[in-house]
Amino acid sequence: MSPTSAEHPAASPDATAVAAGKLVARPGSELPAGETSAGLQSLGLERAEDAILYVPATYTREEPAPLAVLFHGAGGDARGAINLLLSEADAAGMLLLATSSREATWDIISSGGFGVDIELLDRALRLVFAGYAVDPARIAVAGFSDGASYALSVGLTNGDLFSAIVAFSPGFVAPGEPEGRPRIFISHGTQDIVLPIDQTSRLFAPQLVADGYAVEYVEFDGLHLVPDDIVADALEWWLNDG
């Protein structure tokens, strides 16, 4: 990848922005230079597994692609998060970016506030935006379980960057200062015993609607998982209905 700005694209963001959960990285207005390769690749930040990018076989820098930022559940990693949408990436022509939490789960859970995980994500996004053509109108954040909770929290805090949020079986919503009005997709299994639906999505999905957000809320007869048809519905909602 070839950075296009004078600032190193992987430089650390401002500490004040990090503490507020704000992402500074934004897509550029110029086409990125240099050749790219398709497939899975490490962004090489601190450890190979810290940040992983998937580039679909259909990607071309002349046509900005949608980007999905993915968060794993507790005890997971970036590679596992990529798997949420990997089977659909080539057909949809979408870039996938996933980072690994520094602890067993995300900073707002492990440390009680935004911090190291937001910093790493911002650095990863700067690299992606410097090296790839991304459609600024089609950037989504998504996750499963704790990753879904983090997607809701980060997405609402950065609604000026993310136009859509996809939360598969989330447990809570804890944003910083909300910005923008991203659309929201929430799915949850009615038999979930890990994050019971009556204590989670059935409480905050209606509240998000009351707060003025457009919410697509889907319940399914199942446990703490992400059925294939729910993934397909979420992508259809994001890429074709927005």
The strand ranges marked E within 122-177 are 134-144, 164-168
Nearest to 176 by CA among 151, 205, 154, 160: 154
Please give the CATH architecture assigned to the domain spanning 15-241: 3-Layer(aba) Sandwich (3.40)
What the block records as the tokens of 158 is 């950065």
Say if residues 183 and 213 touch (Cβ distance below 8 Å).
yes
**Angle between the N-to-C axes of helices 116-131 and 146-157, in degrees from 0 to 180, rounded to the nearest 10:** 70
Ramachandran assignment for 37, one of left (phi > 0), alpha (psi -120 to 50 degrees), beta (any other):
beta
Per-residue pLDDT of the chain (242 residues; tens, 9 = 90+): 333 333 445 555 688 889 889 999 999 877 777 778 899 999 978 776 899 999 999 999 889 999 999 999 999 999 999 999 999 999 999 999 999 999 999 999 998 999 999 999 999 999 999 999 999 999 999 999 999 999 999 999 999 999 999 999 999 999 999 999 999 999 999 999 999 999 999 999 999 999 999 999 999 999 999 999 999 999 999 999 75
pTM comes to 0.92
Residue 208's contacts (CB-CB under 8 Å, 6 or more residues apart) are: 173, 184, 215
Domain ranges of the chain: 15-241
